[in-house]
Structure 1
Amino acid sequence: MDVLHSWCENKLQKNYLSLLVGAILAGAYIGFASQLFTLVTTAELANGVKQLLGGIVFSIGLILVVLGRAELFTGHCLLSYSCFTFKNYVIQTLKIWGLVYLGNFVGSIFLASLYASTGLFNTGGGVIAQRAYQIALTKTQIPFTQAFARGILCNWLVCLAVLLCIYAENNLTRLLVIPGPIATFVALGYEHSVANMYFLSAGAFAQNYLHKSSVPVTLSGIAHNLVPVTLGNIVGGVVMVGLLYWLKERG
């Protein structure tokens, strides 16, 4: 039994309460990284430099998830690896995806609402609120097919980072392999469903600090982003990493 299949087996055997709590924690951890990204990208820098810097700090989110043994939906797309061999794992995998996705959403919204209550959106004369709102508004305006494609590319890299962590022999190695793929997907502008759960929620809260004439971040706008991005993340994780590595191991 290879190490990736062993990882899948361990996840599939976890009880639902453990998965739900771990997923709530992961949603919050990715939210903390998203807060750092929001803060860093307020800097007056060239766009490429700003995005790369944002990507580097965002990688802290996956570090917290991996070392904190939390449950992240995008990483769980790798459970498909065992499904290609054992078809009876498919239903259990779908149940876990649904539970973890829900938990990630709860953790993200909770962190966004808690942050809104701190008054820190007013930092720098409201620059944080403006940046959070702009990130969310931009995401709600991405066309469906583009958001779907960005979701595929994102989770190709995220699942690669998770795979490298699974293959790593210790936590120090895991710390070293995570930033590369994560900083890459963020800097290039790809779309991550769990990060967007926070970004979109934070933008909805942040608009309360701005002029009433601002274009609102609505529930329909949030769904317009999360649906194609989530579908793209599934394809990226299942096909570009899960299936291809399954074929590679059996080649």
Structure 2
Amino acid sequence: MDVFGFNAFSPAEITARIETVGVTKARLPLGSMLMLSVLAGAFIGLGALYYVLVRSDPGLGFAARQVLGGAVFSLGLFMVVVAGAELFTGNNLLVMAWAAKKITTRELLRSWIIVLAGNLVGALGLAVLVVLSGHPDANQGAVAAQYLTIAAAKTNLPFAQAFFSGLLCNSLVCIGIWMAIAGRSVTDKAVALLFPISAFVAAGFEHSVANMYLIPVAMLIQLTSGHAGTEPILLGGFLSNLFPVILGNLTGGSLFVGGVFHVIYRRTGLIGD
């Protein structure tokens, strides 16, 4: 499909490509799936690191910090898509291959569980390395203070708010991945990802894998450096954030994007087998 000079795959072609890729992803060997998911967790963590660095600059206004922070956070998704890694939030689109009866329920759940676990390992591993590197001390400790502020806000979110914030986040993430698959070049994919990814970050929506990095960094900062007077960031708060955000991400990606496009393009017969 050539729209305004851009040679992109059509939405029906994207559907077929996502189903084909979904079969491959769901049937990856365990070792490969796990290693690729560890990489994705670290990639998203690096995007979150970049975001916090922007947020720590007091000279920027709210909108500038959020929009610029969202733009640099997109690095994580660029790396996942271009370098090739397995990210739980993006892999919610595997539901399209499942709905088309190209993978089984067992294969779908196996992929989601293994990838989510690998993402957690990658994000936690990066968090440890970042704290050991001394990076949070940058900008006279403003970076560390920003991690603590972000984590405190996340761990105090009510369940419903965290769920719906996660739903909106992954709806945008999966739309971004959907559009990136339409692209035929690295540049196409980068442009397609930039706006939906930066939008969810600027809006403050919740991404489960990013939170697997951001909250543990804050916990490690408090453990190793103190920061008297700041609200304690505890394991219970971490888990109380992750559970509703994961559910929201899963709902937004698999139902609101994958499910909707499946109905439009597969169930209505706009594409065939």
SS of residue paired to 2:89: helix
Compute the RMSD of aligned alpha carbons: 1.3
2:31 corresponding residue in structure 1: 17
CA deviations 1:5-46 (Å, max 9, x no partner) are: 111112122111111000000111111111110100112222
2:54 corresponding residue in structure 1: 40
Deviates more, 1:207-216 or 1:143-152: 207-216
Counterpart AA for 1:90: T
1:222 paired to 2:215: no
2:179 corresponding residue in structure 1: 164
Structure 1 gaps, min length 5: none
What displacement does 1:83 show? Answer: 1.4
SS of residue paired to 2:140: helix
2:71 corresponding residue in structure 1: 56
The higher radius of gyration belongs to: 2
Which aligned pairs between 1:58-137 and structure 2 lie closer than 5 A? Answer: 58-86=73-101, 89-137=104-152
Moved over 6 A (4+): none
2:213 corresponding residue in structure 1: 198
What displacement does 1:87 show? Answer: 7.7
Q: How far, CA to CA, are the matches of 1:134 and 1:85 in structure 2?
A: 44
TM-score, normalised via structure 1 length = 0.96
Identity %: 37
What displacement does 1:116 show? Answer: 0.7
Q: How far, CA to CA, are the matches of 1:61 and 1:211 in structure 2?
A: 29
Q: How far, CA to CA, are the matches of 1:88 and 1:20 in structure 2?
A: 19
> Which residue among 140, 148, 171 is the counterpart of 2:155?
140
Q: How far, CA to CA, are the matches of 2:142 and 2:111 in structure 1?
A: 38
CA contact (8 A) 2:97 2:103 kept: no
What displacement does 1:88 show? Answer: 5.5
Q: How far, CA to CA, are the matches of 2:169 and 2:103 in structure 1?
A: 28
SS of residue paired to 1:73: coil
TM-score, normalised via structure 2 length = 0.89
Q: How far, CA to CA, are the matches of 1:144 and 1:87 in structure 2?
A: 34
Q: How far, CA to CA, are the matches of 2:246 and 2:170 in structure 1?
A: 10
Q: How far, CA to CA, are the matches of 2:101 and 2:64 in structure 1?
A: 45
CA contact (8 A) 2:166 2:207 kept: yes
